[in-house]
Amino acid sequence: MTTILLIEDELPIAEMLRGFFERDGFDFHHVETGEDGLNRLKQRPVDAVLLDLNLPGMDGVDVCRKIRMFSDVPVIMLTARDSEIDKVVGLEIGADDYVTKPFSPRELLARIKAVLRRLEDRRPEPTSIEVGGFVIDGGRRQVTTPAGDLVQPTAREFDLLMYLAENRGMALSRSQILQAVWGYDYFGETRTVDVHVRQVRKKLDGIPLETVWGVGYRIGS
Ligand code: CA
């Protein structure tokens, strides 16, 4: 069972997340302050930490730095505004991911799963995902078309395709894709994503990679 620790002073958010994560089979724990969170983590490790940025007393930035002094546990920051994400990323406090309030629990869950998966990727266990007759082979990093042709995308195109396929059916924003595929230290334009999507569509004619207006992209359904 995956254990999650939420450090959040806003009780309605905590209750909403508890309901969602417990229904999804997580072992969910909640504390209201950074001090309590640090104590809890030192007593017993968890699989992932959800950390609010604006906490009374020690704020999320300090809490994250202190966690990093003794633990590599994945930390996902909950921030109130996009501009705060920029600030937090700029500080390089060692968080693994960020979501902006208001967020849907489903989005947060996807982020947690992605973070945990990146950890597992350290000892890679290649998977194949099939989308619309295209087989995306994570081990060989190549794609077989419905007609049986082998296609070898570039490394970045493949990572983009795999990220979309792993989150199939979900509309992913350009900035989400940038963060996941290019990494947090990449401060390029979101147009980069469009360019790569165009290449993927060209190489894999007929792949169900849709543009979601006002959001970004989605693969499959
Ligand atoms: Ca707060």
Query: What is the model's pLDDT at position 204?
Result: 96
Give per-residue pLDDT as tens, 123-138. 555 689 999 999 999 8
Query: What is the model's pLDDT at position 122?
Result: 59
Give per-residue pLDDT as tens, 85-121. 776 766 677 788 888 888 888 889 988 888 888 777 6
Confidence of residue 212 (pLDDT cuts 50, 70, 90): very high
CA of 182 to the centre of ligand 1 (A): 29
Question: Which comes out higher in pLDDT, residue 115 or 144?
Answer: 144
Q: Do domains 3-120 and 128-219 have the same CATH topology?
A: no
Entry field: residues in the chain? 221
- In the chain, what are the domain boundaries? 3-120, 128-219
Question: Which fold would CATH assign to domain 3-120?
Answer: Rossmann fold (3.40.50)
CA of 56 to the centre of ligand 1 (A): 7
CA of 5 to the centre of ligand 1 (A): 15
Give per-residue pLDDT as tens, 4-20. 999 999 999 999 999 99
Give me the residues near ligand 1 (ion), CB cutoff below 5 Å: 9, 52, 54
Q: Evaluate if residue 23 carries a pLDDT over 90.
A: yes
Contact yes or no for 48/112 (Cβ under 8 A) = yes
Give the mean pLDDT of 192-202: 91
CA of 99 to the centre of ligand 1 (A): 13
Give per-residue pLDDT as tens, 30-75. 999 999 999 999 998 899 999 999 999 999 999 999 998 888 889 9
Question: Which fold would CATH assign to domain 128-219?
Answer: Arc Repressor Mutant, subunit A (1.10.10)
Q: How far apart are CA 160 and CA 129, in angstroms?
A: 13
Closest CA to 50 of 97, 114, 116: 97
Question: Which comes out higher in pLDDT, residue 172 or 80?
Answer: 172
CA of 87 to the centre of ligand 1 (A): 16
Cα dihedral sign, 185-96-179-164: positive
Sequence-ordered strand ranges (E) for the chain: 3-7, 27-31, 48-52, 75-79, 97-100, 128-131, 134-137, 142-144, 150-151, 172-173, 209-212, 216-219
CA of 60 to the centre of ligand 1 (A): 9
CA of 106 to the centre of ligand 1 (A): 20
* SS3 label, residue 99: strand
Give the mean pLDDT of 182-198: 75
Query: What is the model's pLDDT at position 121?
Result: 66
